[in-house]
Structure 1
Amino acid sequence: MIDSAENARPFATPRVAAGALFVDDQDQVLLLHPTYKSYWEIPGGYIEASESPLDACRREVKEELGLQVNVKSLLAIDWAPHPEEGDKMLFVFDGGKLSTEQLAAIKFADGEIDEWSFVPESRLDELTVPRLARRIRQALQARRQRRTVYLQEGAVPA
């Protein structure tokens, strides 16, 4: 039996974002400091209408770092509802390691970012919000294991 429009349950309409996980030779994570937030983040942002998560990730890296990179592999998908923003689906792609030349070429064009740094996994809790710290840790583990992981609020579901 098909439900009538009146009885149909609404479909999920999450906000969707994509970001890139870049690491250095010590497996430290590249974090950015947005000028409009009190915490650090990985490069990335919200997906625009008709844009794929991968294309959004590449666009955000270009906008935030001034770098054209060939991000490809998906590390994590996180279903992470936010109390103020509603349902969210977040994609983390493997950005790999940036060359010395790429690091030297990083530029912040639009004033949204004022600093970048490679940070050890042990400092994630002090630099970013808990839900992002959990997601980054899971993405790092997935990268080491060469796999993709599904998460719910930054954790592998039981």
Structure 2
Amino acid sequence: MTLSRIRIMFEPVIRRCLHLYWRFARGMTFGVRALVFDAQGRVFLVKHSYVEGWHLPGGGVEVGETALDALRRELHEEGNIALDGQPVLHGVYFNRHVSRRDHVVVYIVREFDQPAKPLPNREIIDCGFFDQKALPDGTTIGTRRRIGEAVQGEPISPDWR
């Protein structure tokens, strides 16, 4: 059985376990994600080891951490990306597909430094910059919608999906 097949089988169980833990540890889950665009207008995406598909980089805001601190940390951890300028708030989304308590803040990042592409690790198995019109197979619906909002001026939805 391939790693991809195993991940698909266990993704719902892993997600439910994590959200059960977060429900008691946090009360509400609050995350950040970034639309990181390079000079050629390509968008940075990541592929996690524990969920299927290509996603915008980001993650949970920890207790005592600001959304911008979490964004800086997640970009460094997932993409070896350091912010050079101030990110721009794009939108706040209710992610009811994950939980009735999950919200995600999305920022647009255009000023950054990435000295080298990070090596695959336990969490991020692949990442890279992709042309907006040629996103990799498996790019999630929410990711595609956020890109459409930022690039093509589609209406910003209050929901992640």
TM normalised by structure 1 equals: 0.68
Consecutive unaligned residues of structure 2, counting only runs of 5 or more, are 1-26
Aligned-partner SS, 2:47: strand
Structure index of larger Rg: 1
Correspondence list, 1:54-65, <5 A? 54-65=68-79
Tell me the TM-score normalised to structure 2 length: 0.67
Distance change >3 Å, CA 68–CA 83, structure 1 → 2: closer
- 2:156 and 2:69 map into 1 onto residues whose CA distance is 20
* CA shift digits 1:12-37 (9 cap, x unpaired): x6421112222233312111111222
1:133-156 Cα offsets, whole Å, 9 max, x none, are 1122213357xxxxxx8631258x
- Unmatched runs of 5 consecutive residues or more in structure 1: 1-12, 143-148
Q: Deviations over 1:77-111 (max 9, x none)?
A: 23223234223322222221555xx2x52324742
- State yes or no: 1:88 paired with 2:102: yes
Map residues 8-157 of structure 1 onto 2, 5 A cutoff: 14-70=28-84, 72-96=86-110, 98=112, 102=114, 104-108=115-119, 110-124=121-135, 126-141=137-152, 151-154=157-160
For 1:23 and 1:84, locate their aligned partners in 2 and report how far apart those are by CA, in whole Å.
Answer: 26
